[in-house]
Amino acid sequence: MYQKNLYDYLSDAVRTAPDKLAFADERTGYTYAQLYDRAEAIGSYLFERFGALNRPIAVAVERSADTLAAFFGVLASGNYYLPIDPHMPVRRMEHILAQVRPLCLITPDGTDLPDTTALCPTVLFSQAVEHTTDSAALCAQRAQVLDIDPAYIIFTSGSTGVPKGIVVCHRSVIDFTEWMSETFGFGGDDIFGNQAPFYFDLSVKDIYQTVKHAATCHIFPHRFFLFPKLLLEFAEKEGITAFIWATSAFHLVANSGALERVAPASLGKVILGGEALQAKQLNRWRRALPQVEYVNLYGPTEVTVDCTYYKIEREFADCESIPIGKVCENKQVLLLNEDLQSVPQGSIGEICVRGIGLALGYFGDREKTDAAFVQNPANTAYRDLIYRTGDLGKINERGEICFCARKDNQVKHMGYRIELAEIETVLSAVPGVDQIACIFDREKDRIIACYSGQAEESALSRAAAELLPKYMNPNVRCHMEQLPRTSNGKLDRNALWKISEHGTDC
């Protein structure tokens, strides 16, 4: 039977492999039967308390199997989940909750979360998971959910200083999951090693590949990525077969030197995404683990995880850039100029994407949705949307799509997508800051905040820590008498670079 709701994957898995380990973290491991029972209990609690359909429910995420039980519980109840990083600054969390107004926030027991009860009620995981199950009521609820209804909302950085909530429907995720399974040949014997936090859409690949195949996924603890040797030893011990990771984590492990000490022989596939893959780091992995199939994926959250892929089959010199390859099944990539006309073969154009994977839009923001999701200019006959990624790409002589640059000031840092303008907006509000501009040093992977005015550097650090997620905090703050301007008065980012690198003020 074809899938209509992401929850169907779990219902199928529990029938075929009830006693198989589904997800395990450091403390707990759930078989499919245990995961299903918990999801049904949580779903029943949500249904009885709210009786709602197609409404958002926030989940404070941890690196735990309980978080996944909560996600599936939300889906079981016919609603959609909004993952919340409990470590994000309080004001950002409040902003997101105020914008979405979820029915409730499911929180793990013992988490030290800020009090957000003024925005939505809090439900303890332990409270929901002990509820009596009413599977018939849940089935009736889900029967009313269409595959074009939302499955989750994931928030990313927004250029105006306000994070954007990207709403993705069941059909988009199912379509992507099926494509991924077929293209990379995953199966029930696979054992995944999860790196991506569950508030990051990269984790969608781990979650649904695992459940689709009734496979097993180990949720790696945070400290594994600080101490990669522990990670590789664990992967070897557990017979991990696939890593689906953020590229930055892959680079980090390559840099650590741990691969030269431990190379897990069970590993068969390493699938990367989130930012540009560096050939130098890839080559380190290939030297240590030549048997592994490496794949570079590309795509913003708005197109449901990814839209292009590149299986690495040839050699790359350390300084070469790795293509993002070819388009995923049931998606189309168009390279368009500013007037939304196709660029000539080999020329650079904005990467625009068509297909069922397109998100439903930005939650509660019609204006931003309409600016990013626009009518396909090649079709005037009926509604046919494309998503403008803001990324510039071209087709190389081998016919592979290559990422070139961003059109704007969005950067990828630590695997996260960041609008530098959002950091600028927050820091410009610090008393004593006259002018502010952020630049990104790709080589050293750091954000540099250049500012003028009387503000103390510590005031900028404090504001960043209070208002922005940790990965958006500038790594370097650079005071200048004046920010450089071009002759027509625009901020001169090239000059900013030179001053921030060599200026005595910094």
Partner 1 sequence: MEELIALLSEICPSIDFENETDLVDRERIDSFELVAIVSTLMDHYEIELDVEDLLPENFNSAEAIYRLIESRRG
**Closest approach of Cβ 347 to partner 1, in Å?**
36
H or E, element range at 465: helix 457-467
CA 201 to chain centre: 3
| By CB under 8 A, residue 256 contacts partner 1 | yes
Nearer to partner 1, 101 or 223 (CB): 223
d(CA 330, CA 299): 14
Q: How far apart are CA 400 and CA 397, in angstroms?
A: 7
User: Total residues contacting partner 1 (rule CB under 8 A)?
Assistant: 24
What one-character DSSP code corresponds to residue 252?
A: H
In sequence order, what E strands does 337-462 have? 349-355, 361-362, 373-375, 385-395, 401-406, 410-413, 416-419, 433-441, 446-453
Of 345, 323, 464, nearest to 402 by C-alpha is 323
Binding to partner 1 by residue 287, rule CB under 8 A? no
Nearer to partner 1, 229 or 311 (CB): 229
CB of 326 to partner 1, least distance (A): 31
What three-state secondary structure class fits 144?
coil
CB of 233 vs partner 1, minimal distance in Å = 11
Q: Which region, judged by CB under 8 A, interacts with partner 1, from 116-124, 220-228, 364-372, 432-440?
A: 220-228
Residue of 237, 470, 485, 498 that binds partner 1 (CB under 8 A)? 470
Q: Binding to partner 1 by residue 226, rule CB under 8 A?
A: yes
Selected binder of partner 1 within 51, 185, 188, 257 (CB under 8 A): 257
Structure tokens at 13: 């898995």
Q: Are 138 and 43 in contact (CB under 8 A)?
A: yes
Cβ(301)–Cβ(155) below 8 Å: no
**Segment contacting partner 1 (CB under 8 A): 175-183, 223-231, 306-314, 359-367?**
223-231
Candidate list 445, 459, 479, 506; residue touching partner 1; CB under 8 A = 445
Amino acid in position 263? A
From 122, 127, 183, 255, residue interacting with partner 1 (rule: CB under 8 A): 255
Which window, 209-217, 252-260, 448-456, 498-506, contacts partner 1 (CB under 8 A)?
Answer: 252-260
Check if the beta carbon of residue 396 is closer than 8 Å to that of residue 312. Answer: no
Give the interface segment with partner 1, choosing from 32-40, 257-265, 350-358, 478-486 (CB under 8 A). 257-265
Tell me how far, at minimum, the Cβ of 387 lies from partner 1, in Å. 30
User: Considering just the CA atoms, what is the radius of gyration of the chain in Å?
Assistant: 23
- Residue 268 phi/psi, 5-degree rounding, is -115, -30
Residue of 15, 91, 101, 223 interacting with partner 1 (CB under 8 A): 223
Give least dist CB 253 to partner 1, A: 9
What's the token pair of residue 7?
């929850």
Task: Kindly tell me which of 253 and 386 has the beta carbon lying closer to partner 1.
Answer: 253
Query: With CB under 8 A as the contact rule, which of the stretches 7-15, 45-53, 119-127, 251-259 interacts with partner 1?
Result: 251-259
Region of 17-25, 255-263, 280-288, 423-431 interacting with partner 1 (CB under 8 A): 255-263
Query: C-beta of 222: minimal distance to partner 1 in Å?
Result: 5
Q: Are 79 and 72 in contact (CB under 8 A)?
A: no
First to last CA, the chain: 62
Q: Which is nearer to partner 1, 152 or 234 (by Cβ)?
A: 234
Residue choice 146, 429, 465, 495 for contact with partner 1 (CB under 8 A): 465
Q: Which residues, 77 to 96, sit near partner 1 by CB under 8 A?
A: 87
Q: Does 280 bind partner 1 (CB under 8 A)?
A: no
- Give the bridge partners for 350, in sequence order: 336, 392
Binds partner 1 by CB under 8 A, chosen from 23, 47, 71, 225: 225
357 to 416, contacts with partner 1 by CB under 8 A? 414
How far apart are alpha carbons 297 and 310 in whole angstroms?
A: 6
Could you tell me which residues come within 8 angstroms of residue 5 by beta carbon, excluding any fewer than 6 positions away? 75, 142, 145, 147, 170
User: Which tokens sit at 499?
Assistant: 């001053």
Taking a C-beta distance cutoff of 8 angstroms, is the pair 83, 56 a contact?
no
We find the least distance from the C-beta atom of residue 194 to partner 1, in angstroms, to be 15
| Nearest to 58, CA basis, from 208, 210, 202, 199 | 199
Among 249, 270, 282, 297, binds partner 1 (CB under 8 A): 249
CB of 337 to partner 1, least distance (A): 37
- In the complex, the smallest distance separating the C-beta of residue 287 from partner 1, rounded to whole angstroms, is 16
Q: Tell me the sheet residues that pair with 417.
A: 412
Nearer to partner 1, 99 or 256 (CB): 256
Check residue 252 for interaction with partner 1 (CB under 8 A): yes
Query: Does 237 contact partner 1 by CB under 8 A?
Result: no
CB of 85: closest distance to partner 1 in angstroms? 11
Q: What gap in Å lies between CA 258 and CA 231, rounded to an integer?
A: 9
Which residues between 32 and 71 bind partner 1 (CB under 8 A)? none
Of residues 210, 214, 41, the one with CA closest to residue 127: 41
What's the 3-state SS for 483-495? Answer: CCECCCCCECHHH
Cβ atoms within 10 Å of 55's Cβ, excluding its own: 18
Residue 114, interface with partner 1 (CB under 8 A)? no
Residues near partner 1 (CB under 8 A): 87, 222-223, 225-230, 249, 252, 255-258, 260-261, 414, 445, 458, 461, 465, 470-471
